[in-house]
Amino acid sequence: MAKRSGVRLKVLRSNNILARDNVDVLSENVRFMINGLERGQKRAFALEIGVHPTTISKWLAGKIRPENPSQAAICRYFGFKVGVDLKVDPFFLSYSPVTITQRKRWLHEQIDGMTSKDLGDLFLALEKLLDGKSS
């Protein structure tokens, strides 16, 4: 991450840059994840995690913050491992795709960028992994 961000590794290790700059990690994470949803998917997201759609708008605007039960529901929705803390773990800084839409887009880009030989070598493994999994 140090190379990608242009910040010296020593600085990353010795400073909590987010705390120093008073970054609200929870709010930034929520914005990052919700803004990564496809158009029209916010309402379905709200219903899935058990909140009113206007609550999503309030989270995005920073008017309110998700309470602990909503944070847990958000983590389940995005498939995060148990123990993830949206108040501490800065997913909004991640280079890895977080939302389903972002993950699909990333996979498509990776496959589209492969040579025919590389795709041929990988195809049998992918076929075994994915056979019967798509809906």
DSSP secondary structure, 79-113, as one string? TPPTT--TTTS-GGG-SS--SHHHHHHHHHHHHHT
Residue 2, pLDDT above cutoff 50: no
For residues 83 and 108, membership in a common domain is answered with no
- 91 and 118 belong to one structural domain: no
Number of domains in the chain: 2
Instruction: Convert the pLDDT of each residue in 5-35 to its tens digit.
Output: 555 545 544 556 666 667 888 999 999 999 8
Q: Do 64 and 15 share a structural domain? A: yes
Residues 64 and 9 in one domain: yes
Residue that wins the pLDDT comparison between 44 and 8: 44
Of 109 and 4, the structure prediction assigns the larger pLDDT to 109
Q: Do 61 and 123 fall within a single domain?
A: no
Residue 1 has pLDDT above 60, yes or no: no
In tens, the pLDDT along 94-130 reads 778 877 778 888 889 999 999 999 998 888 888 888 8
* 21 and 79 both lie in a single domain: yes
Q: Do 104 and 86 lie in a common domain?
A: no
In the 8-state DSSP scheme, what is residue 64? S
Give the residue numbers spanning the domain of 23. Answer: 2-95
